[in-house]
Amino acid sequence: MNDVLTQFLEKIQRRNPAEPEFLQAVTEVAESLLPFIDQHLIYRDQKILERIVEPERVIIFRVPWLNDKGEVEVNRGFRVQMNSAIGPYKGGLRFHPSVTLSVLKFLAFEQVFKNSLTGLPMGGGKGGSDFDPKNRSDNEVMKFCQSFMTELYRHVGADIDIPAGDIGVGKREIGYLFGQYKRIKGEFSGVLTGKGYEWGGSLIRPEATGYGLVYFVEEILKTRGDSLSGKKVLISGSGNVAQYTAEKCIAKGAKVLTMSDSDGFIYDPDGLNVEKLQFIINLKEKERGRISEYANKFKCGYFKGERPWKIKCDIALPNATQNELDGNDAATLIDNGCFCVAEGANMPCTREAVAAFHKAEIFYAPGKAANAGGVAVSGLEMSQNSLRFSWTRDEVDNKLREIMKQIHRICLKYGKEKNGHVNYEKGANIGGFVKIAESMLAQGLV
Ligand code: NDP
Ligand code: 2IT
């Protein structure tokens, strides 16, 4: 089996040179899937995994625009349409200077499995640009979004490919992108999710990834008759996912000790409360300021250039970006008694970190399961757009909770080891794969 894995990965590497993040994501999935595929020869003979790792289509385009000084700027735009076996392509847009083809291919690949796990009819895709919205005026962000959509509109549509937000793309950016699509096409459709509630968005979509993550952690804790009450929690990031993760953790009686941004992290030994969190939300969403200002305001620790994982905790929730928690961080967490790591971000833990969690047999929930709540409510936004109807907050929240419970059940079904330990990574990979594989078989060689 190791030979098969090695050969498979060597081929991926040869065909996708200089794509380390994509190779990392494929390695993680192939390690769980190849033994399973070996027991289901039709998947092997029909080369299902070989087909899944090849995007159906990749679009790369120039995004020229004028900044506030009247100067020309040029960025690169991408959309990776990875797999449409179970529905139209679906996945976020990321605007960040670190965006490359490799990053978007890894994200699109993860999205395929994640979307399958939600149980909703959504294929997988991801897109974005190396544009950095930080320190840009609203006018510049609008100009960029308009230029970006002036090319992207050809490739997306409510039944074709439905983008949403991700790092650097929130309600403001979705608004400008939607406006430009509507203007070019002359139609008001559900081409994007994460829209404002007044113009076709869903209640709970802003909260969904963070809330869903906490609901998933609750399911994990229930397996040992435990709850979040009184647990010490580390959160990284202070954006959309981190904010609503913190809100729900506080509501469940957990003690949130840290939050971070790309400059450093704050450590509040008393724990955040609703007022303190509101300060962070205002700081990040309105003033677009830095997390260090929290430490100045509430007189607590600020660790410049560091990540929160050295603080003693029960539960760690990496919610910022890929590879933000490495093997050394994992060893520190385990030594300090952390027993649960659940990924709000996509692939925040390196392979070495994940290996350490498996070895220590602590709970480790991969992003494709734990952070699926965001895209799940995007799917519910699509349903509401099709119905020309809006569900209440409670209706959407209850559906989200049920979806996260169902994903947890799938992880148990495929991930329970002989000794009773649950390998959520294996469970999520196999559980996500089966539905896609069966759909691909049914649809023939396309
Ligand atoms: P936001 O842009 O709202 O927030 C991102 C946060 O992460 C910010 O605090 C940002 O700090 C920090 N960050 C970003 N890049 C880096 C970096 N290179 N190093 C350190 N910190 C960094 O994004 P989201 O909250 O939406 O996304 C966070 C993660 O969650 C991503 O991995 C995303 O793919 C994933 N995710 C998002 C979903 C969603 O619905 N939005 C759904 C599922 C997963 P700073 O402000 O300094 O840049
Ligand atoms: O990584 C993700 O799942 C997202 N950024 C959300 C995608 C979506 O289409 O809502």
Same-domain check for residues 271 and 339: yes
Give the residue numbers marked as catalytic: 126
Q: Is 90 in the pocket of ligand 2 (CB under 6 A)?
A: yes
Same-domain check for residues 75 and 161: yes
Ligand 1, atom nearest to 378 Cα? 40
| Structural domain containing residue 13 | 2-52
As a 3-state breakdown, the chain gives helix, strand, coil percent values, each rounded to 5, of 50, 15, 35
- Of 96, 166, 403, the one to substitute when testing ligand 2's pocket (max ligand atoms within 8 A of C-beta) is 166
Q: Is 164 in the pocket of ligand 2 (CB under 6 A)?
A: yes
Same-domain check for residues 334 and 213: yes
- Separation of CA 398 and ligand 1 centre (Å): 25
Q: Is 381 in the pocket of ligand 1 (CB under 6 A)?
A: no
- Residue 308 CA to residue 324 CA, distance in Å, equals 10
Mean pLDDT score of the chain: 98
Same-domain check for residues 150 and 89: yes
Residues 33-84 pLDDT 10s: 999 999 999 999 999 999 999 999 999 999 999 999 999 999 999 999 999 9
302 lies in a domain?
yes
441 lies in a domain?
no
Residue 224 amino acid letter: R
Average of pLDDT values for 269-295? 96
* Banded model confidence at residue 111, pLDDT cuts 50, 70, 90: very high
Same-domain check for residues 136 and 118: yes
CB 201 within 8 A of CB 195: yes
Ligand 2, atom nearest to 115 Cα? 3
Same-domain check for residues 71 and 183: yes
Residues 75-98 pLDDT 10s: 999 999 999 999 999 999 999 999
382 lies in a domain?
no
- Separation of CA 62 and ligand 1 centre (Å): 24
Tokens of 440: 């691909």
Average of pLDDT values for 165-175? 98
**pLDDT for residue 165:** 98
Same-domain check for residues 92 and 121: yes
216 lies in a domain?
yes
295 lies in a domain?
yes
Q: Is 346 in the pocket of ligand 2 (CB under 6 A)?
A: yes
- Residue 91 CA to residue 407 CA, distance in Å, equals 18
Same-domain check for residues 252 and 365: yes
Same-domain check for residues 48 and 62: no
- Separation of CA 190 and ligand 2 centre (Å): 15
Same-domain check for residues 239 and 255: yes
414 lies in a domain?
no
How many structural domains does the chain have?
3
Tokens of 137: 């005026």
Q: Is 415 in the pocket of ligand 2 (CB under 6 A)?
A: no
Ligand 2, atom nearest to 166 Cα? 5
Is the pLDDT reported for residue 405 higher than 90?
yes
Residue by residue, DSSP assigns 196-231 as -GGGT--TTHHHHHHHHHHHHHHHHHHTTT--STT-
Average of pLDDT values for 336-343? 98
- Of 345, 370, 395, the last residue of a domain is 370
- Of 14, 34, 52, the last residue of a domain is 52
Q: Is 262 exposed, middle or buried (0-12, 13-18, 19+ CB in 10 A)?
A: middle
Q: Is 92 in the pocket of ligand 2 (CB under 6 A)?
A: yes
Ligand 1, atom nearest to 170 Cα? 3
- Separation of CA 3 and ligand 2 centre (Å): 34
**pLDDT for residue 424:** 98
275 lies in a domain?
yes
CATH of the domain at 72: 3.40.50.10860
Q: Is 344 in the pocket of ligand 1 (CB under 6 A)?
A: yes
Q: Is 241 in the pocket of ligand 1 (CB under 6 A)?
A: yes
CB 193 within 8 A of CB 382: yes
Q: Which ligand is nearest to the CA of 321?
A: 1
pLDDT above 90 covers what percent of the chain?
A: 99
- Separation of CA 36 and ligand 1 centre (Å): 33
**pLDDT for residue 113:** 98
- Separation of CA 155 and ligand 1 centre (Å): 25
- Of 323, 352, 370, the last residue of a domain is 370
Q: Is 21 in the pocket of ligand 1 (CB under 6 A)?
A: no
**pLDDT for residue 1:** 56
Ligand 1, atom nearest to 263 Cα? 47
- Separation of CA 126 and ligand 2 centre (Å): 8
Q: Quickly count: other Cβ atoms within 10 Å of residue 138's Cβ.
A: 10
Kindly state the DSSP code that residue 14 receives in the 8-state scheme.
Answer: H
238 lies in a domain?
yes
**pLDDT for residue 2:** 83
Same-domain check for residues 223 and 318: yes
Same-domain check for residues 42 and 140: no
